[in-house]
Chain A
Amino acid sequence: MTRLHPFTLLAIAAALPALAWILPAPAGGLAMAVVALALALTTGVFRTAVFTAAPFWLFLLLLHDVPTTVAIGLRITTMVSSFVWVVAALPPPRLVEAMVAAGWSASAAYVFAATLSAVPVLRARAGRIADAQRCRGLSPRGGPVQRLRALRALATPLILSALHEVDERALALETRRLVPGTRRTPLAPPSDHAVERVTRWALAAACAAALAWRLR
């Protein structure tokens, strides 16, 4: 699956949530959620997908009745699982190469790919900050107040350090000529087979057809 062209992976990740919202609930949402979770399972991020989607179910249950919670919850689960899957399955460098080969400017491709790469980077940084705070005696265990305090001690340096790094990263990218309008030479553009191109169009057509059917 990870060998598919990046645009195909993106098309799948976009089509699943789109169909989950377009098709009638709960069957449509359930079918798409099953597919998205299965994809997450194949890339080893099933637990991440489930744990990320779980809080949404809790909030929905507080706000809505059970049928509405199930209908929206399945759709959100599909969205979350699709995103988690595509982040795991699609290395940002491959996406940049594919976008550049397709004629996108390198800086536009970078912005798009950086969105995908931000999640694992921030997670790794959060882990390091949590370790550092533990060394200073902060315990993430205990009651809600203590956990909230621990969360603040984690979030503040995480956000500040990320902002600081953005500044330095911008300088580094600028000096290496990743500037607006750059026409980058693709170093290893991923191959894009006809079957994959047809698949992408088929996914788009399926979404359009489902929408037309629902609006009928």
Chain B
Amino acid sequence: MTRLALERVTFRYPATEAPALLDVSLEVTGGEVVALVGSIGAGASTLLLVAADLAPRVVGGRLEGRVAFDGEGVRGIVLPTPWTQLSGMAFTVWDEVAFGPANLGLARDEITRRVDRAIARLGIEGLVSREPTTLSGGELQRVIIAGILAMQPGLLLLDEPTAELDPIGARSLWELVRALAREGTAILVATSDLDALPAVADRVAWLDRGRLQAIGSADLLGSEALVAASLGPTVANVWHGARLPSPYPVSVAQALQRWEQR
């Protein structure tokens, strides 16, 4: 079932004529992970803000086209700078994670249940008593994600969610993303962690200067065009560098299989 639908969306930031998004149409269904890839300035972050109903409502600007959300749960967005996402109103990590659920007006028992579950899923039980401002970037990132998960979003929007995480933390996060999708959450993620996408994304959408250039399965990452735009995973780049024929493999397993078939 379609959770989010963008129909011919064009968006311009305030006081600019050049559109940050141009005629973009995209659907995300419950249980699906759609990854947005593109160079800096491609419009991925803007698309997430539009999907989160923050642009133009909060950031200003002009929107053309239609954005439809089915209203199942809330829309939660995780921005790439965790230190600006702290509420500033929490003594402890537990309180920080509870900030969103408390604002939903839930009963305290329900808040406690949700917060404890989100904390466990992010593996931050050891941080619950810490003051949020004393955390490292990676710890903070996981706390912010837990805060959004505790609100039980029907649509989860992630903007560079692994930017502050170490490789183990990033792998855990991607496993969590897949687990959330299995539970029915619709997930739209903008990331430059291209190597992780073949195992995480059901579909990949390529944005370039605000336009949706292509959308398809994760194998799209191995296309000539994306590899030429430096948007292919490492294994595809190696294959390309070795002047082996396209489409390029997007995972090591796929590369091995192709190599054996040569």
Contacts and interface: CB of A to CB of B under 8 A. Distances in A.
Interface of A: 91-93, 96, 106, 110, 113-114, 117, 121, 165, 167-179, 182-187
Interface in B88-108: 88-91, 95, 98-108
Given A167-B59, A173-B87, A175-B52, 18 more contacts: A106-B103, A110-B89, A168-B85, A169-B88, A171-B49, A172-B84, A172-B86, A172-B87, A175-B54, A175-B100, A176-B147, A176-B148, A177-B74, A178-B87, A178-B103, A179-B103, A185-B102, A187-B102
Contacts of B197: none
A96 B105 CA distance: 15
B242 interface: no
Contacts, number: 81
B85 A172 contact: yes
A171 B148 contact: no
A84 B88 CA distance: 19
B148 A175 contact: yes
B155 to A, nearest CB: 11
Pairs A-B, 7 closest by C-beta atoms: A172-B85, A168-B84, A176-B100, A177-B103, A185-B102, A93-B89, A175-B77
Nearest to B108: A185
Contacts of B74: 177
A103 to B, nearest CB: 13
B80 to A, nearest CB: 10
Contacts of B100: 175-177
Contact of B81 (A168, A182, A185, A186): A168
Contacts of A179: 103
B16 to A, nearest CB: 15
Contacts of A184: 102-103, 105
B75 interface: yes
Nearest to A118: B88
Contacts of A182: 103, 105
